[in-house]
Chains A and B, each alone.
Chain A
């Protein structure tokens, strides 16, 4: 069974930084693109960032471009999201999600349980 487990969320002050992790199991991690999707409290889903299976291609939503960095460590089967210059509107549950393909560009068939990031002073 494929499982994704996020960690690293918490309370951070505006302007601060945080690194999220997503540990994957039950799959050949490098075979699949991965994404981060967030959901503000009581709101809908927003795609944040994606990375190809090999890690060579990355993509970002305009709302986070230049502030967030996605990466992956195949040896650790782990996906990361480095978040800097955090703002109040970054407050959300952050989900990692598995793409159906190696190259980003398909639907997301497996999701983690999410980790909450709260940006507040």
Chain B
């Protein structure tokens, strides 16, 4: 299963609403997770089952979608949110999207 994220890079300002899209090459129901990775650090799990926020993750993060099309939304971008975000399917083994770098505009 191939995962395609868009955009690859996103320039945004603090306070902006940010939307990242992830598309699967075949249906994965809701077997989708989102991770945040900062330079030199391991990925951090933000969301699983497409929309379930992990404990401790700020409520400005939300996920939606099912089947083949998914989105990660950051409602109001904060300075700590500048990072690279990856989607991951776990319906059949595990496959990651290529990543979306959120950078300062």
Interface of A is mostly: strand
Instruction: Type the 1/0 row for B26-41, where 1 means its CB is closer than 8 Å to any CB of A.
Output: 0000000101010001
- Which residues in A have their C-beta under 8 angstroms from that of B93? 47, 50, 59, 61
Contact A44 B98 (CB under 8 A): yes
Contact A105 B86 (CB under 8 A): no
Contact B95 A47 (CB under 8 A): yes
Contact A107 B33 (CB under 8 A): yes
**How many residues on chain B are close to A (CB under 8 Å)?**
20
- Which residues in B have their C-beta under 8 angstroms from that of A100? 48
Contact among A47, A50, A59 with B96 in the assembled complex (CB-CB below 8 Å): A47
Contact among B42, B48, B95, B99 with A114 in the assembled complex (CB-CB below 8 Å): B42
Minimal beta-carbon separation of A13 from chain B (angstroms): 27
Known contacts A107-B48, A111-B43, A114-B42; A46/B88 CB under 8 A: no
Minimal beta-carbon separation of A44 from chain B (angstroms): 5
Minimal beta-carbon separation of A37 from chain B (angstroms): 8
Known contacts A46-B96, A61-B93, A106-B48; A111/B42 CB under 8 A: yes
- Which residues in B have their C-beta under 8 angstroms from that of A105? 90
Minimal beta-carbon separation of A42 from chain B (angstroms): 10
- Which residues in A have their C-beta under 8 angstroms from that of B88? 45, 107
Contact B90 A45 (CB under 8 A): no
Contact A107 B45 (CB under 8 A): yes
- Which residues in B have their C-beta under 8 angstroms from that of A35? 94
Query: Which residues of chain B have a CB within 8 Å of any CB of chain A?
Result: 33, 35, 37, 41-45, 48, 54, 86, 88, 90, 93-99
